[in-house]
Amino acid sequence: MANSASGDSVTERIVRVLETFSTERTVQTAAEIGRRAGLPSSTAHRMVAELVASGLLERDGARRVRLGMRLWELAGRGSRALRLRQAALPWMERVQARVREHTQLAVLEHGEALFLERLSSPTAGANITRIAGRLPLHASSSGLVLLAFAPDDEREAVLAAPLLPVSAETILEPQALRARLAAIRRDGFVVAEGSIEQVSTGVAVPVRDGRGPVIAALSVVLPREAPTAGAVEELRAAAAGISAALGSAGR
Ligand code: PHB
Whether residue 26 is found in the same domain as residue 110? no
Domain that holds residue 173: 78-249
Q: Is residue 243 part of a domain?
A: yes
Task: Answer yes or no: is 4 within a domain.
Answer: no
Q: Are residues 163 and 62 in the same domain?
A: no
pLDDT per residue over 84-141, tens digit each? Answer: 999 999 999 999 999 999 999 999 999 999 999 999 988 998 999 999 999 999 999 9
Ligand 1 center to 36 CA (angstroms): 29
Question: Could you tell me which of 53, 81, 56, 74 has the C-alpha nearest to residue 66?
Answer: 56
Report the C-alpha gap between 15 and 10 in whole angstroms: 9
Q: Is residue 5 part of a domain?
A: no
**Are 53 and 109 contained in the same domain?**
no
Instruction: Kindly state whether residue 125 falls inside one of the protein's structural domains.
Output: yes
Assess if residue 133 is contained within a domain. Answer: yes
Q: Are residues 130 and 227 in the same domain?
A: yes
> Does residue 2 belong to any structural domain of this protein?
no
What does the alpha-carbon distance between residue 173 and residue 176 come to, in Å, rounded to a whole number? 5
Q: Is any atom of ligand 1 closer than 6 Å to the C-beta of 222?
A: no
Give the number of the atom of ligand 1 that is nearest the alpha carbon of residue 201.
Answer: 9
Residue 218 alpha carbon to ligand 1 centre in Å: 12
The answer on 100 and 176 residing in a single domain is yes
142 and 26 belong to one structural domain: no
Instruction: Say how many CA atoms lie within 13 Å of 223 toward its Cβ.
Output: 6
- Residue in 171, 176, 102, 175 with CA at minimum distance from that of residue 143: 171
CB burial string 33-58: b at 16+ within 10 A, e below: bbebbebeeebbbebbeebbeeebbb
Q: Tell whether 93 and 153 lie within a shared domain.
A: yes
Closest to 33 (Cα-Cα) out of 47, 54, 12: 47
Q: What is the CATH number of the domain that holds 26?
A: 1.10.10.10
Percent of the chain with pLDDT over 90: 90
Q: Which of 117, 200, 205 to mutate to test the pocket of ligand 1 (most atoms within 8 A of CB)?
A: 200
- 147 with 195, same domain? yes
pLDDT (tens digit per residue) in 199-245: 999 999 999 999 999 999 999 999 999 999 999 999 999 999 999 99
Instruction: Answer with the one of 74, 94, 114 that is the final residue of a domain.
Output: 74
Secondary-structure percent of the chain, ordered helix, strand, coil, rounded to 5 = 45, 20, 35
Q: Report long-range pairs for 37-45 (Cβ below 8 Å, ≥24 apart).
A: 37/13, 39/13, 43/4, 43/13, 44/17
φ, ψ at 117 (rounded to 5°): -155, 150
Map residue 217 onto helix, strand or coil: strand
Same domain, 33 and 130: no
Which domain-ending residue is among 29, 54, 74?
74
1 lies in a domain?
no
- When divided into structural domains, the chain yields a total of 2
CA distance 25 to 104: 22
Atom 7 (ligand 1): residue with closest C-alpha?
127
Mean per-residue pLDDT of the chain: 95
The last residue of one of the domains, among 45, 74, 103, is 74
Q: Clarify whether residues 57 and 82 are in a common domain.
A: no
173 and 96 in a single domain? The answer is yes
